[in-house]
Amino acid sequence: MDDYFWLRETQPIPDGIGFGLFSATHVAALGVVLLGVVVLPTLGYVRLGDVGRRRMRLTIGCLLLGMDIVVQTTYVITGDYTPQMIPLELCSLGVYVVFIDGLKPNLLTREIMYSLSIWGALAALVFPDWANRPLWNIFSLQQFFGHGLLVLYPVMLMVAREFRPDWRRLGRVLLVLAPFTLLCYVLNKVLGTNLMFLAAGAPGSPLEPIQAFAGALYIPLLARLLLLVWVVEYTPWVLASRFSRNPVAVG
C-alpha cells in the first residue's frame, strides 16, 4: 500500500486499489472525519474565548488555503497539471470564503458557507470522486480532511451561536455565485473541463443519473435543484425564528 501513498491523480490507477464508494473503509473514513474533524473541534471551539476563537478560525482558513496551494504547486512542479485542476469548484469557493472570514468575519462569507460550500463538501465526502484511489494516499487523505474542514467551519459558528443562517441574504450569495458559475461554464467550453460538474455529473454521484435524464436541460435542472436544497436548508431556520429572536454575534 505504501507504493500508492504518493500516487498522483494524473498517474495510471490500477484496478482494485481504491477504497470504494460506500465500502466499509469509506464509511469508517466518514466516521473519523465526523468525529475527529467536525464534532471534537466544534466542542473545543465553543469552550474558547474570543481570542482563541479568532485564532482557530484563522488557522482553519490558512490551513485550507495552504493545502490547496501545496497541491496545486505539487502538480505544477511534477508536470502533471491539467486544466481540470483549476481551483474553480464549489468547494474551492468555500476555501476562499473561509480564508476571508478567518481574516475578517462577515455575514456574506458565512452565508455562502452555509448555502453552498457546506452541502457541497458533504456531497463530496459522501460521493467522493476519488474513491478509485487507495485511502492511504496523500491526496485522498487531503480530500477527506479538507472537505471535513469545510463542514467544520460553519458548523462550529452555528453551534457557538456566532452565525444564524438567513434566507434573506441569498440574493447577495447569488451575486457571488452567478459570475463564478459563468466563469466555470465558459472555461468548460474553452478548455473541455468539467468545473463545478456543469458539463457532466460526477461518476457515482446523484448528478450522473440526473444529467443522463435531463440531457440539454441539465444546467437549468441544477438551478432548480439548488433552490430545492435551499428550501430544505432554510426552512428549519425560518420556523425556529418564530420562537427565538436572540441576536447572533459576528466576530
pLDDT tens digits, residue range 167-177?
Answer: 999 999 999 99
Give residue 235's pLDDT.
95
Q: Considering the entire predicted model, what is its pTM?
A: 0.91
Q: Which three cell numbers stand for residue 30?
A: 466518514
- Give the pLDDT score at 154: 97
- pLDDT for 249 equals 54
Domain ranges in the chain are 2-241
CA distance 135 to 127: 14
Average pLDDT score over residue span 182-193: 95
Is pLDDT above 60 for 1?
no
Q: Using 50, 70 and 90 to split pLDDT, how confident is the model at 194?
A: very high
Can you give the pLDDT at residue 9? 74
On average, the pLDDT of the chain sits at 91
